[in-house]
Structure 1
Amino acid sequence: MLEFRQVAKAYATPQGPLEVLAGVDLDLAAGESVALMGESGSGKSTLLHLAAGLDLPDRGEVRLAGQALSSLAEPARARLRRETLGLVFQQFHLVASLTVRDNLRLQARLADRERPDWTAELIARLGLGGLERRYPEQLSGGQQQRLAIGRALAPRPALLLADEPTGNLDEASAGEVLELLMALVREAGCSLLMVTHSPRVAAPLDRCLHLTHGRLTTPASGRDACA
């Protein structure tokens, strides 16, 4: 589903180029869930942006659903994102002028994959029944994050990319949102790559990877694998 081959990325700074990724290799299989961990500033969000084709590597290759992203012009990458990806960020990025129902329908419509039955199921599973006509500002933070997750999953994407999806929530709400996210990912049948700093959030996923000094490492297996 997602492949990185010797991917490198650097950014210009007043002190010179700062290499964030230094030859990253990654394989994410269809239906697999992977947690990406690392210290703040280690390049986790950069890796996610490259996976989505929102940025391109300086060296190496990123392949999404078999397509080499560097070989595609931006319109083609945008189309591949619409058809293949769901994106969930720490900031909700909901459309303020759209109701709960229309926020959910938006991404599915853009992908030409709207299914009223799945939309109705998402509303029920997200705990948003009776709130369909409300606007994002009329929802709590937890409700907004659940809506953002539902919007990303509405077109039943092949891959969900999530950047600290519970980072803005209190512990109780974060636990509920994480449990819901994992259940819906399984039901949608999609792969998941989630950036998180929390071992508790990472623990339910199939694998954990750590990003350190620009490279990915696999921690020891067992109870402490995501620590």
Structure 2
Amino acid sequence: MLEFRQVHKAYATPQGPLEVLAGVDLTLDAGESLALMGESGSGKSTLLHLAAGLDLPDRGEVRVAGHAISSLGEASRARLRRETLGLVFQQFHLVPSLSVFDNLRLQARLAGREQADWTNELLERLGLAALARRYPEQLSGGQQQRLAIGRALAPRPALLLADEPTGNLDEGTADEVLDLLLTLVRDTGCALLMVTHSPRVAAPLDRRLHLTHGRLTRPEVGQDACP
């Protein structure tokens, strides 16, 4: 579903090029969940942006659902995001002028895959059915993040990319949102790549990798080691 082959990415700085990714290799299969960990500034979000086709590698290849991202034009990458990917960010990015219900079905409509039964089921499972006509500003932070997750999953994407999806929530609310996210991912069968700095948040996922000095490694034994 997602493959990185010797991916390099650098950014210009006053001191010269800063290499963020230095030959990253990564494979994520359909239905698999992977936590990408690392310190702030380690390049986790850069890797996620490359996976989403929001940025392009300097060298190497990124493939999503068999498509080489670098060979696609901007319009084709946008279509791939609409039809294949779901995106969840630390900031909710909800449309303030749309109700809960209309925010939820927005992505599915853009992808041409709106299904009324699935939208209504999501409302129930998100715990938002009674709030369907409210607007985002009338929701708590946890409710807004649940809505953002539901919107990303409404078109049943093949791959969900999540960047610190519980980072703005208190621990109790974060646990509830994470449990809901993983349950919905499992039930829809999509693959999940989640960026997090928290071993506790990463622990329930199938695999965990650390990004350090531009390269991916497994966590050390005793520090959230992979099984």
Pairwise CA distance, 1:224: 3.0
Pairwise CA distance, 1:103: 0.3
Question: Is 1:189 equivalent to 2:189 in the alignment?
Answer: yes
- TM alignment of 1:137-216, pairs within 5 A: 137-216=137-216
Question: Is 1:60 equivalent to 2:75 in the alignment?
Answer: no
Q: What is the alpha-carbon distance in structure 1 between the residues aligned to residue 220 and residue 158 of structure 2?
A: 28
The secondary structure found in structure 2 opposite 1:205 is coil
Give the TM-score normalised by the residue count of structure 2: 0.98
Q: What is the alpha-carbon distance in structure 2 between the residues aligned to residue 53 and residue 222 of structure 1?
A: 35
Q: What is the alpha-carbon distance in structure 1 between the residues aligned to residue 152 and residue 125 of structure 2?
A: 14
The secondary structure found in structure 1 opposite 2:193 is strand
The secondary structure found in structure 1 opposite 2:70 is helix
User: RMSD of the alignment, in Å?
Assistant: 1.1
Q: What is the alpha-carbon distance in structure 2 between the residues aligned to residue 219 and residue 140 of structure 1?
A: 34
CA displacement, residues 109-160 of structure 1 (integer Å, 9 cap, x when unaligned): 0100111111011100111011001010010000000000000000000000
Question: Is 1:219 equivalent to 2:216 in the alignment?
Answer: no
Residue number in structure 2 paired with 1:88: 88
The alignment-based identity, stated in percent, is 84
CA displacement, residues 63-91 of structure 1 (integer Å, 9 cap, x when unaligned): 00000000000000100111100000000
Q: What is the alpha-carbon distance in structure 1 between the residues aligned to residue 28 and residue 128 of structure 2?
A: 32
Residue number in structure 2 paired with 1:130: 130
The secondary structure found in structure 1 opposite 2:129 is coil
Pairwise CA distance, 1:225: 1.1
The secondary structure found in structure 2 opposite 1:130 is helix
Pairwise CA distance, 1:223: 7.8
Pairwise CA distance, 1:219: 2.5
Following superposition, which runs of at least 4 residues in structure 1 exceed 2 angstroms of deviation? 219-224
Aligned letter for 1:107? Q
Residue number in structure 1 paired with 2:24: 24
Give the TM-score normalised by the residue count of structure 1: 0.98
Of the structure 1 ranges 214-223 and 101-110, higher mean CA displacement relative to structure 2 is found in 214-223
CA displacement, residues 164-183 of structure 1 (integer Å, 9 cap, x when unaligned): 00000001100000000000
Q: What is the alpha-carbon distance in structure 2 between the residues aligned to residue 25 and residue 223 of structure 1?
A: 22
CA displacement, residues 82-113 of structure 1 (integer Å, 9 cap, x when unaligned): 11000000000000110000001100001001
Q: What is the alpha-carbon distance in structure 1 between the residues aligned to residue 180 and residue 130 of structure 2?
A: 19
1:62–1:15 CA distance, 2 compared to 1 (3 A): same
1:8–1:223 CA distance, 2 compared to 1 (3 A): closer
The secondary structure found in structure 1 opposite 2:131 is coil
Q: What is the alpha-carbon distance in structure 2 between the residues aligned to residue 170 and residue 54 of structure 1?
A: 29
Q: What is the alpha-carbon distance in structure 2 between the residues aligned to residue 120 and residue 220 of structure 1?
A: 43
Q: What is the alpha-carbon distance in structure 2 between the residues aligned to residue 143 and residue 4 of structure 1?
A: 34
Aligned letter for 1:116? A
Aligned residues: 226
Q: What is the alpha-carbon distance in structure 1 between the residues aligned to residue 66 and residue 218 of structure 2?
A: 24
Aligned letter for 2:130? G
Residue number in structure 1 paired with 2:78: 78
The secondary structure found in structure 1 opposite 2:10 is strand
Task: Could you tell me which runs of 5 or more consecutive residues in structure 2 were left unpaired when the two chains were aligned.
Answer: none
Pairwise CA distance, 1:221: 6.4
Contact residue 104 and residue 150 of structure 2 kept, 8 A: yes
